[in-house]
Structure 1
Amino acid sequence: MARQHARTLWYDRPKYVFMEFCVEDSTDVHVLIEDHRIVFSCKNADGVEFYNEIEFYAKVNCKDSQDKRSGRSITCFVRKWKEKVAWPRLTKEDIKLLEKVSTKRPPPAMDDLDDDSDSADATST
């Protein structure tokens, strides 16, 4: 079975970057926080493997960072090396997960929608 990326939420605060890996009922959790990256892996209750490796936007203090596991997710508290410097993104590279569409297409036709279907169900008194 191939590994998947865990859905990841992140929050930028003056001293910390909070990351939440959204995996319910996780087991075999491994979190490695280094000065320039985080490596996360685990399995869920169905045995699906999750793996994320993220290079941070800026240097962090790995010695003053930690993680906490709950039933729904794994939250990492990553201490920024330079406090009070906002991060415009989590990753070093400005990566877009979806490719930009180069040509516009006309909107889909809505011919198959029947306007009378709602009024046929209505009853009058």
Structure 2
Amino acid sequence: MARQHARTLWYDRPKYVFMEFCVEDSTDVHVLIEDHRIVFSCKNPDGVEFYNEIEFYAKVNCKDSRDKRSGRSITCFVRKWKEKVAWPRLTKEDIKLLKKVSTKGPPPAMDDLDDDSDSADATSN
């Protein structure tokens, strides 16, 4: 079975970056926090394996970072190396998650949305 990325939320604060990996009822949770990256893996109750490896925007203090597991997610408290420096993004690379649509074509035809039986019933009543 292929691995999936866990949905990840992150919050930038003056001293910490909080990361939340959203996997309910997780098992086999492994969190490795290093100075420049985090590696997260776990399984959900259906046996689906989740794996995230993230290169941080800036250096962190891995010795003063922690993680906490709850029934709904795994939260990581990652201590920034340089406090009070805002991170514009979580990752080292400026990755765009949503790609822009480069070409616009004509809108799709909506002819197949009309159902003659419904309109006939409405007019006969």
The structure whose residues are more often helix, as a share, is 2
**Counterparts of 1:86 and 1:41, CA distance in 2:** 27
For the aligned residues, what is the CA RMSD?
2.5
| Structure-2 change in CA distance of 1:13 and 1:111 (3 Å) | same
Q: Which moved more, 1:68-77 or 1:113-122?
A: 113-122
**Counterparts of 2:71 and 2:41, CA distance in 1:** 15
SS of 1:19's equivalent?
strand
Q: Identity across aligned pairs (percent)? A: 96
**Counterparts of 1:120 and 1:87, CA distance in 2:** 60
Alignment correspondent of 1:10:
10
Q: Post-superposition shift, 1:124? A: 15
SS of 2:51's equivalent?
strand
**Counterparts of 1:68 and 1:23, CA distance in 2:** 13
**Counterparts of 2:75 and 2:12, CA distance in 1:** 13
| Structure-2 change in CA distance of 1:113 and 1:90 (3 Å) | same
**Counterparts of 2:13 and 2:117, CA distance in 1:** 51
Spell out, residue by residue over 1:26-81, the C-alpha distance to the aligned partner (whole angstroms, 9 max, x if none).
00000000000000000000010000000000000111100000001000000111
**Counterparts of 1:12 and 1:46, CA distance in 2:** 32
Q: Post-superposition shift, 1:109? A: 3.2
Structure 1 length-normalised TM: 0.87
Q: Post-superposition shift, 1:113? A: 4.1
How many residues are treated as equivalent by the alignment?
A: 125
| Structure-2 change in CA distance of 1:43 and 1:111 (3 Å) | same
SS of 2:92's equivalent?
coil
